[in-house]
């Protein structure tokens, strides 16, 4: 079974440019999450999709961040325009969303996209 994949693995852009991150969840997982870890800080929640709907976007820092999950499969996170403080590692995670078993509740993480804004 393929895990959560993210693209690109690294991105270096200049302040003011636009970057789009992609996440492909595990097949069949309705729940998709975006998290971010800024250097030296905790991993912070950004938002949560259930299928194609945004369930919780309380962690999105501002309106420069736009997340989509068209068709309920892969998701994109666009940062436009990027600022220096957006640098960090962006993780995507997915879960089945059914609390029928311990394994069903686990969020499975992708390898992350390392974003550096210069």
Partner 1 sequence: ELKVEQNPLFLSMQEGKNYTIYCNYSTTSDRLYWYRQDPGKSLESLFVLLSNGAVKQEGRLMASLDTKARLSTLHITAAVHDLSATYFCAVAPVMYTGTASKLTFGTGTRLQVTL
Q: Report the interface residues with partner 1, using CB under 8 A.
A: 3-4, 31, 33, 35, 42-45, 48, 50, 55-56, 59, 91, 93, 95, 97-99, 102-103, 105-112
Tokens 């957006």 belong to: 86
8 Å CB contact between 14 and 86: no
Strands 75-79 and 108-109: unpaired
Shortest Å distance, C-beta 118 to partner 1: 21
* Closer CB to partner 1, 11 or 107, in the complex: 107
Shortest Å distance, C-beta 38 to partner 1: 12
* Closer CB to partner 1, 56 or 83, in the complex: 56
* Closer CB to partner 1, 3 or 8, in the complex: 3
* Closer CB to partner 1, 31 or 75, in the complex: 31
């Amino acid at each position: 079974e393929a895990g959560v994949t993210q693209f690109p693995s690294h991105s270096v852009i200049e302040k003011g440019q636009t970057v789009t991150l992609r996440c492909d969840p595990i097949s069949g997982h309705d729940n998709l999450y975006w998290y971010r870890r800024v250097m030296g800080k905790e991993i912070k929640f950004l938002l949560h999709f259930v299928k194609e709907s945004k369930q919780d976007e309380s962690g999105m820092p501002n309106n420069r961040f736009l997340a989509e999950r068209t068709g309920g499969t892969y998701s994109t996170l666009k940062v436009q325009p990027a600022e220096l403080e957006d640098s960090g590692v962006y993780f995507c995670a997915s879960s089945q969303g059914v609390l029928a078993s311990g394994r069903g509740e686990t969020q499975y993480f992708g390898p992350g996209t390392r974003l550096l804004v210069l």
